[in-house]
Structure 1
Amino acid sequence: MDATLFSLYFSALVAVYLLPGPDMALVVATGASRGVRMALVTSLGIALSRGMHVFMSGLGLAALMAAHPVLLDVVRWGGAAYLLFLAWQVLRADMRVDTTQGAEGSAASGFTRGLLTNLLNPKALMFCGLFLPQFVAPERGPVLLQFVWLGAILVAVGFAFDAIYAVLAARLSRRVRSASPFRKWLLPTVFVLLAGRLVAS
């Protein structure tokens, strides 16, 4: 890929990650309510899911869903149900890290939330399926390797932005002490809003 085309690809990714979306909302809400560490772990889960979406779009799953809207609806409603389950689960639990459970268990739950929230969003898969092929050309070499290269950049840039959002949200939350009584409602509210957005889309 020449420098001009790469600059276009990179700029498009930056523009996408600057726009508010479900991943940004999840990372910001997690950073504000549970701290930067948990938000970064959640971001790692989102990053893995993005990599899986790149892989699936390379296999043609995005095109299959576009051709069969029923499959898209199944994933969409499944994702919405999962988000509502998360909202209910978080409301029942303490929003702070459970010291009796240990950091490993808490990190695993944050990672899983990030992974499944993004993975069950069909829009993320459709984005990869529609966006990446525009920058792939058979004359530039093996198509699979191009997908791997472009996908790696997509995942790395996305994680970098998520990490920035996580740090900023956690720091802002610490400064706004007056909002602390409402922090436990922030994450479940975001889950419910994301579920509604997914169903309405």
Structure 2
Amino acid sequence: MDIAVLPLYLSALVAVYLLPGPDMALVIATGAAHGRRLALATSLGVALARGLHVLMSGAGLAALMAANPMLLDLVRWIGAAYLLILAVQVLRSDLRLNASARSERSARSCFLRGFLTNLMNPKALLFCGLFLPQFVSAAHGPALTQFLWLGAVLVLVGFAFDCVYATAAARIGQRMQGKASPLKKWLLPSVLVLMAGRLLAS
């Protein structure tokens, strides 16, 4: 990739990851409600889904979805339904388990939650398909190679930001410990419902 374009590309990524979005909301809510370890597991899932979006957009799936509004709507509705089901599952789990059991919540489930939440968001795929090609130049080698390098940087920068958000949210959650347990219990389900509504309204 063109090294001269790298500072501009990184600046654009920083601006994107500083804006509130579904991934940020999920990582922060998980960190505040369940701690740093599970928020980092969620971040890993989000990062893997971002990597798949890069690959899929490079393969032309983003262009296909942009050209077929019905397909895009179908994915949006499926994604929103998944988020609503997930919100109910999280809430039922919190009501059913005691504090000790909740502390042993599987990191695997949080990883899967982060992965599927990002993967089922068609806007993330379209973003990769529209954003990355702007930094690909025919004068700097094969377009696919450049695309993959740009995508790798996108995933790594996003994961770094999510780690910061996870750590900060976990510290806030520790300060809330014992003072706002009802808020913490409802925080993640509420975020998931809001994310579903935003996905349908977009």
Gaps spanning 5+ residues in structure 1: where?
none
Take 2:9 and 2:53, find their aligned partners in 1: how far apart are those partners? Answer: 17
* 1:97 Cα offset (Å): 9.1
Look up the match of 2:162: 162
8 Å CA contact 2:34, 2:103 repeated in 1: no
Take 1:101 and 1:165, find their aligned partners in 2: how far apart are those partners? Answer: 21
Look up the match of 2:185: 184
For residues 71-122 of structure 1, give each alpha carbon's deviation from its aligned partner in whole angstroms, at most 9, with x where no partner exists.
Answer: 100110000000000000011102879866996x711110110000000000
SS at match of 1:20: coil
Look up the match of 1:28: 28
Q: TM-score normalized by structure 1?
A: 0.94
Take 1:97 and 1:62, find their aligned partners in 2: how far apart are those partners? Answer: 43
Q: How many residues align?
A: 200
Q: TM-score normalized by structure 2?
A: 0.94
8 Å CA contact 1:45, 1:115 repeated in 2: yes
SS at match of 1:93: helix
Look up the match of 2:143: 143
Take 2:139 and 2:3, find their aligned partners in 1: how far apart are those partners? Answer: 16
Paired letter, 2:135: F
Could you say what the CA RMSD is over the residues aligned between the two structures, in angstroms? 1.9
Paired letter, 1:35: G
Look up the match of 2:9: 9
For residues 122-162 of structure 1, give each alpha carbon's deviation from its aligned partner in whole angstroms, at most 9, with x where no partner exists.
Answer: 00000000000001122211111111111110000000000
* 1:44 Cα offset (Å): 0.3
Q: Give the 5 Å matches for 1:60-139.
A: 60-94=60-94, 106-139=106-139
| CA 1:37–1:132: 2 relative to 1, 3 Å | same
Gaps spanning 5+ residues in structure 2: where?
none
8 Å CA contact 2:94, 2:102 repeated in 1: no
Look up the match of 1:199: 200
Paired letter, 2:112: T
Which segment drifts farther, 72-81 or 89-98?
89-98
Look up the match of 2:47: 47
8 Å CA contact 2:2, 2:140 repeated in 1: no
SS at match of 1:52: helix
